[in-house]
Structure formats: structure tokens, C-alpha cells
Amino acid sequence: MQLKLKEVETKKQLKTFIYLPEKLHKGHKNWVPPIYQDEWAYFNPKKNKALTYSDTVMFLAEMDDQVVGRIMGIINHRYNQARKEKAARFGYLESIQDFEVVSALLDRIEQWAKEKGMIRIIGPYGFSDQDPEGFLIKGFENRATITTYYNFDWLPEMVERKGYSKDIDYFVYKINVPKKIPEVYSRVAKRILGKGKFQLVEFKKRKELKPWVRPILSLMNETYLESNIYGYAPLDEKEMDGLAKKYLPVLDPKFIKVVLKEGQPVAFVIGIPDMTEGLQKARGRLFPLGFIHVLRARKKTKQLDLLLGAIKKEYRGMGLDALMAMSMLSSARAAGFEIIDTHHEMESNVKVRSEMERLGGQVYKIYRVYQKSLI
């Protein structure tokens, strides 16, 4: 069997690249397909601005005229310039269970990165931490959540055989929604709001969110950069609008909490009802009827997934996290949710992790980003 690698250059090849995981993960019960219209936009320079300031390359692996693997290489110049790094990224690695295929795909991306002058490579990672990041290394018995990888359990071991080592782990906590809001949260929230310095904003309709998109994401830019959030690349206004366009249709306003000081956002948290069962039934295709499965899944799910959150540096340690937690738990309980998935938390983020554990959260998934020197 002869293995060939082909660079993705045509729309037909891109289609193969996008839909290959669906073929490889057929019958893999916890794998969740992406929303395919979002995938097409992601790889379109006219719709994904990150493609205009990044170098990218994509390859398909073929064996006996069958496509058996894929990979993408990324060099985010905006990120590298801001962090003074020469780092490439590999992402979207999929393969049959064959080390030769995985090895060839990684070798080709490493070669490409060296030719571009890079001295280090990390992955799996996209353009920023808004994209799927890290291979699952613990929790394979649990279904994937939105914007996360769900890889086969043998893939991380194959990557390690290629000389890759751990760069960072992300922990995901499962929190049972309490029947009663913890007294300490209620007490802290009452104290904060009683002083009148901060205002908690909650939403009922999706249209109420639109004026807050850029202020909230600008706060994310500020806090994630100063906190040196791993892999984060700042968004410009066009990218903010693109992110909003992608997620606003599936967000439930009840699970977005914003704290204001003098009319400006200083903290926020965003949750989303788990809709992955619907995506599985829709096979990632919203039209013509797939969106019905997604809407039904959102209504019947008992799980709330946290997506994003931040607190302005000078207001940390003042109880704003408890204020937002109280509001989010109250909304989750009122909606009948039983479980909260915290999404990715950096292992080094001890403060946030301790807060999750104080709520009784248990680590039920771990994701790992790998790194390798190219020198």
C-alpha cells in the first residue's frame, strides 16, 4: 500500500477535508459533528479573517486511492508578533488507526513550518482558543461538547511517539446544579449589589445582546491578553462580529451574565444549553430540517455548557465571580438543568479551578496540547 500526501488546493479537496472525520468516526457514539456551514465559513478567507494574517496549509493522506487522513498547519503571525514567538500549530488531525499515516502528516507539517522559519510547533490548536484545542486524554466515555475535539484514544499516543510532549492540559469539570444556591454566594451577591457600585445585567431576548457584543469581546481581548491566556490571539472588530454571527443564533439570553461598573462591562460569563445530541441527529447539517433536531435537543437537555468568561483585572477578588455564579446557577436551576460542563480550564488557573471545586465540581475530562522543538 502506497501512502501519498496531497495539498488541499481545490474546492473538491476541501470538501473531502471537511467531511473526512464523519467517515472516520462512523459509529463512534460520543463523536459530535461540527456545524458544517460553520466549517465552510472557517476555511473561507472571505469569511474568516484569521486566514488573512496567518499562513496555512492543509494536506490529505491517500492510500490505495482512499483518503485516510488529514491535517492543517497554521502560523498565526498576529499571535507570534505579539508574543515574540516563532511557533507553528497543527490542527484538525484525523487518521485511520495507522502510525504511518499519522507520522507522515505530522512530518509534512513540521517540514512546512521549518521552511517558514518556525522553531516550535504546538497542537492540536486552531487560530485561537475559540477553536477546538487539545486532544482528549481522559473522559472518552462522555460525549463531546461544542467546539471541542473528540479523538480516538490511540491518537495521543501516536503523537507522543513522534517526539511530542505535553505543553499544557485543560481540565473540564462537571458540576451538579444545587437545589439551593450556596449561602456564601447569596451573601456575597447581596453585599456587592447593595453597595451600588456594580450592576448585574441579565437578558431575556436575543436582540438585547447585540449592542453588548463588541464591549464584551473587547473585555475578553483585554483580560485574556494581560492574563497571558494560552494560545489566545486578540480579535479585531470584524472578527468579533463574525464570532457573534456564529454563536448568537444558538445562544440563550438567559445564560449570559454581565457585570457593569459605570455603564461599562467589567465581567461576563456565557453559557449555552448542550445541543450535541441534536447535532448528532442532524449530522451537522442544519438545513433543510437539521435545525429542528438542534432546537429539540436544546429544549430537552439537562446540561448547560459554559463557553467564555472574564473579569477585568482590577476587579478580581471582589466577589464578581460569586455574583455571576449565583445568577447562572439560579437560571440553570429554573430551566431544569442538572449538570454544568465548565468547558476548558487551564491546569495553571488555580483560582478558577478552586472555585469549580468549591461548587463540588469533579474533573471528568482532560485535554492536552502537545509541543515539539523544530530546531
Q: Which domains does the chain have, with CATH numbers?
A: 3-169 (3.40.630.30), 178-337 (3.40.630.30)
Tell if the pTM clears 0.85, that is, is over it. Answer: yes
Q: Cell 496555512 sits at which residue?
A: 56
Tens digit of pLDDT for each residue in 307-351? Answer: 999 999 999 989 999 999 999 999 999 999 999 999 999 999 888
Rounded to an integer, the average pLDDT of 120-139 is 95
Pair 215, 240: CB distance under 8 Å:
no
Tens digit of each residue's pLDDT (9 = 90 or more) over 67-95: 999 999 999 999 999 889 999 999 999 99
Q: 3-state class of 329 per DSSP?
A: helix
Q: How far apart are CA 304 and CA 340, in angstroms?
A: 5
Residue 231 is predicted with a pLDDT of: 82
- Sign of the dihedral through C-alpha 205, 247, 132, 136: positive
- The closest of 169, 192, 241, 182 to 212, measured between CA atoms, is 241
Task: State the pLDDT at residue 1.
Answer: 73
pLDDT of residue 191: 92
pLDDT, one tens digit per residue, over 34-69 is 999 999 999 999 999 999 999 999 999 999 999 999
On whether the CB atoms of residues 169 and 368 are closer than 8 A, the answer is: yes
What pLDDT is stored for residue 6 in this prediction?
98
Q: 201-227 burial, b if ≥16 CB within 10 A, otherwise e?
A: eebeeeeebeebbebbbbbbbebbeee
267 vs 35, 101, 118, 202, CA distance in Å? Answer: 29, 45, 36, 12
C-alpha count within 13 angstroms, C-beta hemisphere, residue 211: 7
- The pLDDT, as a whole number, for residue 247 is 81
Calculate what percentage of the chain has a pLDDT beyond 70: 100
What pLDDT, on the 0 to 100 scale, is given for residue 355? 86
Locate 66 and state its grid cell. 482512499
> 240 pLDDT exceeds 90?
no
Length of the chain: 375
The answer on pLDDT for 228 being more than 90 is no
Residue 126 CB partners (closer than 8 Å, separation 6+):
74, 89, 91, 92, 132, 133
Q: What is the pLDDT of residue 175?
A: 96
> By C-alpha distance, which of 127, 62, 40, 38 is closest to 90?
127
Hey, CA dihedral for 316, 230, 56, 42, is it positive or negative? Answer: negative
Peptide bond into 132 cis (omega under 30): no
